[in-house]
Amino acid sequence: MDNRQQRFEVMRQRCEAAGQRHLLRFWPGLSDDERDALLADLEQIDFVPIQRLVETCVRNIPPHADFQCIEPAPFVPRPDPDHPSDETHAARDEGWSLLRAGRVAALTVAGGQGTRLGFAGPKGCLPVSPIRRKPLFQLFAEQILATERRVGHPIRWYIMTSPGNDDATRAFFREHRAFGLDPGNVVFFPQGVMPAFAPDGRILLDQPHRVALSPDGHGGSLLAMARRGVLAEMAAHGIEYISYFQVDNPLVRCLDPLFVGLHAQRGSEMSSKMVPKSDDLERVGNFVLADGHVRVIEYSDLPDSLAHARNPDGSRRFDAANLAIHVLSRGFVERLTRDAEAFGLPWHRAEKKVPCIDLGTGQRIEPAEPNAIKLEAFIFDALPLTQTPSLILETDRTEEFSPVKNATGVDSLETAQRDMVRRAARWLDVAGARVPRRADGEPAHPIEISPLAALSADDLRARPPPTVNGPTYVE
């Protein structure tokens, strides 16, 4: 038996054992290259839990967790930028010294498909800054570079890709010479994949020789870090804290000394940033304390009575929105994934339109209605697995959060650019510049501040304020 035939035999047995024999239906008519492609797809699938998953999450809808007792999650209020407390000072100092000692790494999850945005290429390559059109990846690279210069120590940046965008992401960094970072400190690793299922539990084929696979969710980052040797290489570099953020938020503070410092001082294993919700039903995850543990309950799962609940003073009772900005302790991720085969976050089920092959005719179907079940794991489901209380830090939405999710409307490139200009104008106000405003209060001109010039408003205080009488780029 040649090597291909041996691999086929292994896969045939696995598919049969998992009730997925149809995946090899077109094998006899495939060319050698197509057979190799199909085997490579099948080898990425973890077949062991598939049958159980089909029963629990595909053919049936998993029941919502029923918590006996849901309370608002406690959080550290947003520090007053003009009068920081002693605790804030001490935590920020601690964060800077951890950065100086090389104990902190950045982690960007960039494996998503960005279907809502519809940009051709990895989302991190999207030109986003209002004047220079810097891509998201460049904005993060420059923040990391600016932090390296300040602490005098290299900082490792881990970027989780997916099998579908890994090559393009690496090529983009090569083409741009890692935006000034030492390429040896930028580490790419692909996440795992999950097949799409027909409602009857059969895995869908994208083509007769390709399985319909998609990335397994940002929660897949934990297992991917373990399986791809990232945790081991973090340990070898003395990295203890992982500053986690999503690729689609150009306002994110990639390495926030205050957040890292508080996380370390409190002995938290997984910390999170939150902002007050903009309305009761805002489509965000809510931080709650459920049966004594911090968790995130998605807006769609938060009962209306809780979403509208009020405190005695009239304020919103469940008011903490999840920004998907976390610090994770490396030791925590190691503990969770020590037995990688046994570890798993819960799967979230979504009904989607997935083009696929009709198993009878071999013709491709472009569905008009959702025809498939996709399963994804979410990072916030690691929160209840911590053994120490989780820190939640309140922050200012206008300073740190404006994601690019959609092509138009809310959370689009347009709103993110607007929010970048607004923030830049506020920072220049703090620095004493005269920023002209239009009648509606918006800055009269586009303004962009390079992360290499300032990581916060405070960084601008030390320099003479620029004159703003047209589009302004602060370098």
Q: Which stretch of DSSP H or E encloses residue 233?
A: helix 230-236
Measured from the CB atom, the residue of 134 and 405 that comes closer to ligand UTP is 405
Strand partners, 295: 288
Measured from the CB atom, the residue of 19 and 164 that comes closer to ligand UTP is 164
Q: Which of 254, 193, 256 is nearest to 44 (CA)?
A: 193
Measured from the CB atom, the residue of 220 and 443 that comes closer to ligand UTP is 220
> Smallest gap, in angstroms, from Cβ of residue 190 to ligand UTP?
10
d(CA 261, CA 97): 9
Which stretches of the chain bind ligand UTP, using CB under 6 A?
Answer: 109-117, 123, 160, 191, 215-218, 220, 246-248, 376, 405
Which residue is listed with tokens 């399963």? 375
Measured from the CB atom, the residue of 50 and 160 that comes closer to ligand UTP is 160
Measured from the CB atom, the residue of 163 and 384 that comes closer to ligand UTP is 163
d(CA 213, CA 164): 9
Rounded to whole angstroms, the maximal C-alpha distance in the chain is 77
Q: Which of 90, 84, 85 is nearest to 266 (CA)?
A: 90
> Smallest gap, in angstroms, from Cβ of residue 113 to ligand UTP?
4
> Smallest gap, in angstroms, from Cβ of residue 320 to ligand UTP?
19
Report phi then psi at 172, rounded to 5: -65, -40
Measured from the CB atom, the residue of 26 and 172 that comes closer to ligand UTP is 172
Q: Which stretch of DSSP H or E encloses residue 189?
A: strand 186-190
Sequence-separated (6 or more) residues with CB below 8 Å from residue 104: 95, 98, 155, 239, 240, 241, 242, 243, 255, 260
> Smallest gap, in angstroms, from Cβ of residue 260 to ligand UTP?
20
Measured from the CB atom, the residue of 109 and 333 that comes closer to ligand UTP is 109
Measured from the CB atom, the residue of 327 and 433 that comes closer to ligand UTP is 327
> Smallest gap, in angstroms, from Cβ of residue 123 to ligand UTP?
6
Q: Are 355 and 198 in contact (CB under 8 A)?
A: no
d(CA 228, CA 408): 36
- Coil, strand or helix at 327: strand
Sign of the Cα torsion 450, 452, 455, 457 reads: negative
Residue nearest to ligand UTP as judged by C-beta position: 112
d(CA 207, CA 48): 23
- Strands (E) across 8-164 are located at 70-72, 104-109, 157-161
> Smallest gap, in angstroms, from Cβ of residue 249 to ligand UTP?
8
> Smallest gap, in angstroms, from Cβ of residue 412 to ligand UTP?
12
d(CA 271, CA 104): 14
> Smallest gap, in angstroms, from Cβ of residue 219 to ligand UTP?
8
What is the rounded (10 degree) CA torsion for 11, 15, 18, 21? -170
Measured from the CB atom, the residue of 164 and 465 that comes closer to ligand UTP is 164
> Smallest gap, in angstroms, from Cβ of residue 144 to ligand UTP?
17
